[in-house]
């Protein structure tokens, strides 16, 4: 028999009130990377109610409720991959509403990373531009995307581009930037990793200001560069970035001319945050 304190009775009433639109879990399936050192985690969350959590294979994935206000149940729980063998393993996480008995389910698969790629919103970086965010996406042997890379350490380096003979110091044109050195907010785990001098799955890169300062020679420059990182036995992936000089045409809009007429264009450059001609 369950004790029925006024507090529990009140929760029960609230649970009945929300029963009409049933509670939902944030994801149906997650794919977590197998990792020897770090226990990679993912937070499950239900929209309403109060749940008890369990894992059918705690040796593959554990589930830890995040309790608030001394409640005996929770809306959130942290799933951690804890498989000790590098192979594809699965567990089912159940969340049971302690009042209504509603059962929600999330399948957790733990597998090894087979391939990594860098994703970004652009591959072009202007001199003296705002930094560019690069993020790692990882895939299993079937090409499925891992749900998170949070907490895994990567080593990002700017490497010399073999195809680029002319610019022997192309490495110096790009710099991996810490979030703490920038004006941008990273996820909390990145801040934590930066504090211990680690690089995570998300970094910023920017063209080197000091380089531009001493060698203003790159008119209409296009310099491809590579970034590379190593992680366990995975083949390092590369991303090629184009560094362009920030030249603006003024007027910038389309202009229609009569045959035989001409227009004077101004070519402007961004330099130390100012426009020069
Ligand atoms: C989950 O992983 C992140 C990233 O490594 C870490 O900062 C956080 O403390 C972990 N949470 C738990 C509950 O282990």
From the alpha carbon of 66, which atom of ligand 1 is closest?
13
Check pLDDT > 80 for residue 179. Answer: yes
Check pLDDT > 50 for residue 2. Answer: no
Residue 274: which pLDDT band, with cuts at 50, 70 and 90? low
Which protein residues touch ligand 1 with a CB less than 6 Å away? 41, 78, 150-151, 189, 192
Ligand 1 centre and the CA of 247: distance in Å? 44
From the alpha carbon of 40, which atom of ligand 1 is closest?
2
Ligand 1 centre and the CA of 30: distance in Å? 16
The three-state (H, E, C) secondary structure of the chain, written as one string: CCCCCHHHHHHHHHHHHHCCCCCCECCCEEEEECCCCCCCEEEEEECCCCEEEEECCCCCEEEEEECCCCCCCECEEEEEECCCCCCCEEEEEEEEECCCCCEEEEEEEEECCCEEEEECCCCEEECCCCCEEEEEEEECCCCCECCCCCCCCEEEEEECCCCCCCCCCHHHHEEEECHHHCCCCCCHHHHHHHHCCCECCEEEEEECHHHHHHCCCCCCCEEEEEEEEEECCECCCEEEEEEECCEEEECCCCCCCCCCCCCCCEEEEEECCEEEC
pTM: 0.74
Q: What is the pLDDT of residue 195?
A: 96
Q: What is the pLDDT of residue 219?
A: 36
Q: Whose CA is closest to atom 11 on ligand 1?
A: 41
Write out pLDDT tens, residues 205-239: 887 755 444 443 333 334 455 565 555 567 777 78
Write out pLDDT tens, residues 17-72: 544 468 899 999 999 999 877 789 999 999 999 999 999 999 999 999 999 999 99
Counting ligand 1 atoms within 8 A of each CB, the residue from 62, 79, 186, 189 with the most, and so the one to mutate, is: 189
């Amino acid at each position: 028999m369950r004790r029925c304190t006024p507090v529990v009775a009140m929760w029960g009433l609230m649970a009945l009130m929300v029963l009409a639109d049933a509670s939902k879990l944030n994801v149906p399936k997650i794919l977590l990377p197998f990792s020897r050192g770090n226990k990679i985690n993912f937070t499950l969350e239900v929209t309403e109610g109060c749940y008890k959590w369990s894992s059918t294979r705690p040796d593959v994935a554990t589930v830890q409720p995040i309790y608030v206000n001394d409640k005996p149940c929770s809306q959130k729980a942290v799933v951690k991959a804890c498989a000790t063998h590098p192979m594809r393993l699965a567990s089912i996480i159940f969340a049971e509403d302690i009042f209504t008995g509603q059962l929600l389910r999330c399948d957790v698969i733990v597998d090894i990373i087979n391939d990594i790629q860098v994703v970004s919103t652009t591959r072009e970086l202007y001199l003296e531009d705002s930094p560019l965010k690069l993020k790692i996406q990882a895939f299993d042997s079937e090409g499925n995307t891992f749900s998170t890379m949070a907490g895994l350490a990567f080593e990002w380096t700017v490497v010399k581009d073999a195809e680029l003979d002319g610019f022997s110091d192309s490495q110096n044109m790009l710099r991996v930037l810490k979030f703490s050195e920038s004006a941008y907010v990273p996820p909390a785990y990145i801040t934590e990793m930066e504090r211990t001098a680690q690089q995570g799955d998300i970094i910023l890169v920017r063209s080197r200001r000091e380089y531009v300062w001493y060698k203003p020679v790159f008119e209409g420059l296009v310099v491809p560069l590579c970034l590379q990182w190593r992680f366990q036995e995975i083949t390092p992936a590369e991303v090629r970035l184009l560094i362009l000089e920030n030249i603006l045409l003024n007027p910038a809009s389309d202009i229609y001319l009569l045959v035989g007429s001409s227009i004077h264009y101004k070519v402007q450059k961004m330099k130390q945050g100012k426009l020069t001609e």
